[in-house]
């Protein structure tokens, strides 16, 4: 019997420590050896000519989420559950997913988490953790439920500055931030000014401007900029870091950069749609623009340039999909018909499977970012931010053997026909990418190999997250914990 269950031989290994040629020895689901030449192995994978990278972590995705009135879904149901969502993520080189257990108004936070465990248990191909969404921060939720849930490994939570069913007042956000500081939890913020975008929406509708393209007009960059500035101010007042999610454009990015220059520890996330789509994609004929509707909406070419600069120099810590699996049919984005006003069209686009390949192709293959920076954005920084490092997000002795083997030269034309989600379209249809994950390994088990699903549903287990940790800063002045 070999000392290793699996040996990955002859690949170029990239992790937090750098890039090198090395073999990897795996036993009992963990990495136990990294060396130039490892002999033996019950199974050997030849990775010659390929890249051996930490499995990706998609730290912002939505799966099997129960809906409530006043949400961005417009009443549409999500097409992906934990089975289809994790399967799709795996084929895209991701080995850990972190979706959201959503508390609706009047519901206990604990019951939302219990329900989400039931939805996930036994259904995922990949390991998973949960963020919590707090929409009703009552004294019971903040004083009793939240401490217990953080102790159970749910150490991140999200608050909204928009959506009728989810929006919190500044005072409520401060209450959440103060409690999170006491508990060591990380607060994620969806930063759009609800009052402003509601006012703009009503004026657009009154003028008869209701097509999908007007979704962008209802949420101009100033709406995101103001909310981002306010979220940062609330963070400073409460003396606790926050993560501003899905930053879409140059104005919000500038707010974060200015805060960083003052030494404020603000984390930031962006998504593929903000480097590849623009608001013009919402102006397609025959309601096709609805396929690209998300919040915040895609911006302009200059914003794409600014977002890329932030990905290169460290302004953005992570790149997530914000996967929102609404179909383009009469149960999804067309639920209210193709003449429905944009505010009744489900907000959000699919992207679990395409997230990492798009970043690799547009970033590494086109020379915008290096391989080590790709690893940080795709895996390592998310593991650090959400208290999973070094169990996840790196290739090191003792870490889980979560590995994606990439063919850096494989060219793939993205088509919904080749994807594995339950959504009937992709907004990235027809895009050609260079670099694709070919073998995906979760805790030492090959989940998919050269386009074939080999893993088992239920292999994935729930991850208890630890206290969020710092990530490496690039380019900006050194960040500090505000509470220092």
Contact 169, 193 (CB under 8 A): no
**pLDDT per residue over 185-208, tens digit each?**
999 999 999 999 999 999 999 999
DSSP string, 109-142: HHHHHHHHHHHHTTT-SSEE--EEE-S---HHII
Strand boundaries in 36-178, DSSP class E: 43-46, 51-54, 56-58, 94-97, 100-102, 127-128, 131-133, 156-160
**pLDDT per residue over 154-194, tens digit each?**
999 999 999 999 999 999 999 999 999 999 999 999 999 99
For the record, the structure tokens of 226 come out as 């103001």
Alpha-carbon distance 88 to 85, whole Å? 5
Give the mean model confidence (pLDDT) for residues 15-42. 93
Alpha-carbon distance 199 to 195, whole Å? 6
At residue 186, the pLDDT reads: 98
Residues with Cβ within 8 Å of residue 59, at least 6 apart in sequence: 98, 269, 318, 320, 382, 385, 386
Alpha-carbon distance 98 to 280, whole Å? 30
Examine residue 125 and state whether it is found in any structural domain, yes or no.
Answer: yes
Strand partners, 97: 58, 128
Residues with Cβ within 8 Å of residue 198, at least 6 apart in sequence: none
pTM (predicted TM-score): 0.96
At residue 469, the pLDDT reads: 73
Contact 64, 78 (CB under 8 A): yes
Strand partners, 244: 189, 268
CA 34 vs CA 383, 390, 392, 437: distances in Å? 21, 15, 16, 21
Predicted confidence (pLDDT) at residue 475 exceeds the cutoff of 50: no
Alpha-carbon distance 470 to 241, whole Å? 10
**pLDDT per residue over 227-276, tens digit each?**
999 999 999 999 999 999 999 999 999 999 999 999 999 999 999 999 99
Predicted confidence (pLDDT) at residue 464 exceeds the cutoff of 80: yes
Examine residue 406 and state whether it is found in any structural domain, yes or no.
Answer: no
Contact 56, 353 (CB under 8 A): no
**pLDDT per residue over 346-403, tens digit each?**
999 999 999 999 999 999 999 999 999 999 999 999 999 999 999 999 999 999 999 9
Q: Which domain holds residue 300?
A: 56-372
Q: Which residues of 144-164 are buried (b: 16+ CB within 10 A; e: fewer)?
A: ebbeebbeeebbbbbbbbbbe
Alpha-carbon distance 309 to 311, whole Å? 5
Examine residue 304 and state whether it is found in any structural domain, yes or no.
Answer: yes
Q: Which residues of 64-98 are buried (b: 16+ CB within 10 A; e: fewer)?
A: bbebbeebbbbebbbbbbbbbbbbbbbbbbbbbbb
At residue 481, the pLDDT reads: 32
Q: How many domains does the chain have?
A: 1
Q: Angle of helix 221-238 relative to helix 194-206, nearest 10 degrees?
A: 160
Give ∠ CA 258-247-408 in degrees, rounded to 5. 110
Give the mean model confidence (pLDDT) for residues 109-135. 98
- Bond prior to 390 in cis (omega within 30° of 0): yes
Strand boundaries in 211-343, DSSP class E: 242-244, 266-270, 318-319
**pLDDT per residue over 94-117, tens digit each?**
999 999 999 999 999 999 999 999
Strand 432-442 with 127-128, pairing: unpaired
Average pLDDT, the chain: 95
Alpha-carbon distance 296 to 285, whole Å? 21
Whose CA is closest to 344, among 211, 155, 179? 211
| Percentages of the chain per state (helix, strand, coil), in multiples of 5 | 30, 20, 45
Contact 259, 240 (CB under 8 A): no
Contact 225, 253 (CB under 8 A): no
Alpha-carbon distance 399 to 418, whole Å? 31
Examine residue 104 and state whether it is found in any structural domain, yes or no.
Answer: yes
**pLDDT per residue over 278-311, tens digit each?**
999 999 999 999 999 999 999 999 999 999 999 9
Strand partners, 403: 54, 441
Examine residue 48 and state whether it is found in any structural domain, yes or no.
Answer: no
At residue 420, the pLDDT reads: 98
Examine residue 283 and state whether it is found in any structural domain, yes or no.
Answer: yes
Give the mean model confidence (pLDDT) for residues 46-73. 88
In which element (H, E) is residue 8 found? strand 6-15
Alpha-carbon distance 182 to 179, whole Å? 5
Task: Tally Cβ neighbours within 10 Å of residue 141.
Answer: 22
CATH number, domain of 156, equals 3.20.20.140
**pLDDT per residue over 306-360, tens digit each?**
999 999 999 999 999 999 999 999 999 999 999 999 999 999 999 999 999 999 9
At residue 483, the pLDDT reads: 34
């Amino acid at each position: 019997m070999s000392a290793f269950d699996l040996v990955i031989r002859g690949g170029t290994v990239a992790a937090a420590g750098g890039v090198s040629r090395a073999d990897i020895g795996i036993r009992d689901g963990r990495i136990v050896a990294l060396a130039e030449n490892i002999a033996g192995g019950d199974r050997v994978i030849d990775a010659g000519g390929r890249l051996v990278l930490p499995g990706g972590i998609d730290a912002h995705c939505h799966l099997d989420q129960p809906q409530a009135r006043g949400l961005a879904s417009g009443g549409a149901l999500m097409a992906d559950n934990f089975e289809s969502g994790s399967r799709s993520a795996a084929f895209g080189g991701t080995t850990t997913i972190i979706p959201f257990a959503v508390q609706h108004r009047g519901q206990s936070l604990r019951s939302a988490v219990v329900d989400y465990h039931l939805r996930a248990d036994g259904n995922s191909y990949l390991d998973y953790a949960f963020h919590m969404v707090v929409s009703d921060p009552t004294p019971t939720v903040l004083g009793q439920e939240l401490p217990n849930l953080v102790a159970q490994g749910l150490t991140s939570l999200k608050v909204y500055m928009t959506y009728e069913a989810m929006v919190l007042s500044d005072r409520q956000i401060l209450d959440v931030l103060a409690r999170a500081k006491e508990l060591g939890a990380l607060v994620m913020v969806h930063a759009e000014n609800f009052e402003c975008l509601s006012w703009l929406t009503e004026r657009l509708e009154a003028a008869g401007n209701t097509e999908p393209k007007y979704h962008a007009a209802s949420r101009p960059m100033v709406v995101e900029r103001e909310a981002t500035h306010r979220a940062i101010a609330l963070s400073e007042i409460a003396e606790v870091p926050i993560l501003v999610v899905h930053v879409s454009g140059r104005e919000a990015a500038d707010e974060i950069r200015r805060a960083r220059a003052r030494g404020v520890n603000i984390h930031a996330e962006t998504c593929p749609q903000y480097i590849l789509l623009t608001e013009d994609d919402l102006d397609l004929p025959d309601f096709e623009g609805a396929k690209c509707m998300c919040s915040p909406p895609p911006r302009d070419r200059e914003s794409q340039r600014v977002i890329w600069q932030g990905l290169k120099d460290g302004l953005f810590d992570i790149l997530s999909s914000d996967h929102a699996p609404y179909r383009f049919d009469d149960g999804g984005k067309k639920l209210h018909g193709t003449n429905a006003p944009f505010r009744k069209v489900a907000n959000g686009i699919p992207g679990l499977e395409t997230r990492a390949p798009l970043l690799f192709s547009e970033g590494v293959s086109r020379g915008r970012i290096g391989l080590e920076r790709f690893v940080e954005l795709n895996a390592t920084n998310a593991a650090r931010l959400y208290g999973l490092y070094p169990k996840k997000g790196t290739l090191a002795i003792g870490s889980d053997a979560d590995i994606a083997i990439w063919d850096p030269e494989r060219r793939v034309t993205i088509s919904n026909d080749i994807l594995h989600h339950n959504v009937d379209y992709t907004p990235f249809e027809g895009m050609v990418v260079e670099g694709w994950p070919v073998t995906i390994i979760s805790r030492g088990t090959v989940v998919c190999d050269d386009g074939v699903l080999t893993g088992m549903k239920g292999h994935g287990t729930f991850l208890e997250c630890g206290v969020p940790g710092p990530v490496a800063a690039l380019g900006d002045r050194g960040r500090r914990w505000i509470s220092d």
